[in-house]
Structures are given as C-alpha cells and as structure tokens.
Amino acid sequence: QVQLVESGGGIVQPGGSLRLSCEASGGSLQNSVIGWFRQAPGKGRKAVACISYREGVRQYVDSVKGRFTISRDDAKNTGYLQMNNLKPEDTGTYYCAIAEWRPWFCDEDFGPDVTFSDAWGQGTQVTVSV
C-alpha cells in the first residue's frame, strides 16, 4: 500500500511562491498518475493539476494555468507542485493523490471535479495573505 506525505506548505504573501512535495513510500509512483487537489476553507476538495506516467502529460484547471507547474521525479518517488504568483484564493489544504495504471485520469477531461482513489496524503496547508 503506497503512502503519501505532502510537505512544503506555509504562509506567503500574494505574488509569492511555494513548492509542494509529495513523497511516496511503500510502493513506486512509476506507474501512477499523480494529482494535486486543494480544499479551501468551508468548501469541498477540488482537483488542481495532474501528471501522467505516460509521456509526461500534464493537465491544469483554468484557475492555475500559467502559475502552477506539476512535475515528478520517479527516481525519488516524489511529485511536486510549483506554485507561483499565488493569490488569496489559492489558500487551502493541498493534497496529493495517485491513480495507478490509469492514464485516463490525466487526460483532456481532467477538471476540478476529478477525484482519485488509490492513495491520499494527509495534506499541507497553504495560506496566501498580506
């Protein structure tokens, strides 16, 4: 059973940057789609970005395009989310999750209501505030 641990959250001013990490143990991410999700205060959890294990396909929701970059390092069994030009509306708890052997979880249909089911981390808090 793969276990995921997120890190890298914090408090940042608008326009700032953070880099989140999602480290896996107990199994390899090599054949998994990695997704990042966030849950704003008082709201449901929404997908933000994904990266496939095939050909490095990446997808983003519209609200983060051009500001967030998802990446992965399978040698380190870790996924990343680089967040630039952060806005107050990016505040929330960020989770990573995986979908094993299902590349279609990160295709052109990827959107905020997509959810993964194989493994989730415990979340890391991101607060964007003056």
pLDDT in tens, 58-111: 999 999 999 999 999 999 999 999 999 999 999 999 999 999 999 999 999 999
* Confidence at residue 56, expressed as pLDDT on a 0 to 100 scale: 80
Q: Quote the pLDDT of residue 60.
A: 98
Query: What are 118's two structure tokens?
Result: 């194989």
55: pLDDT strictly greater than 90? no
Q: What is the CA radius of gyration of the chain?
A: 13
What is the pLDDT averaged over residues 43-60? 94
**pLDDT of 54 over the 90 cut:** no
Distance CA 94, CA 89 (A): 13
Q: Compute the average pLDDT of residues 1-17.
A: 97
Residues 6 or more apart whose CB falls under 8 angstroms from that of 103 comprise 33, 52, 53, 54, 57
Q: What is the mean pLDDT of the chain?
A: 96
DSSP state of 65: T
pLDDT band with cut points at 50, 70 and 90 for residue 30: very high
d(CA 115, CA 130): 31
Is the Cβ–Cβ distance between 16 and 86 less than 8 Å? yes
Percent of the chain predicted with pLDDT > 90: 95
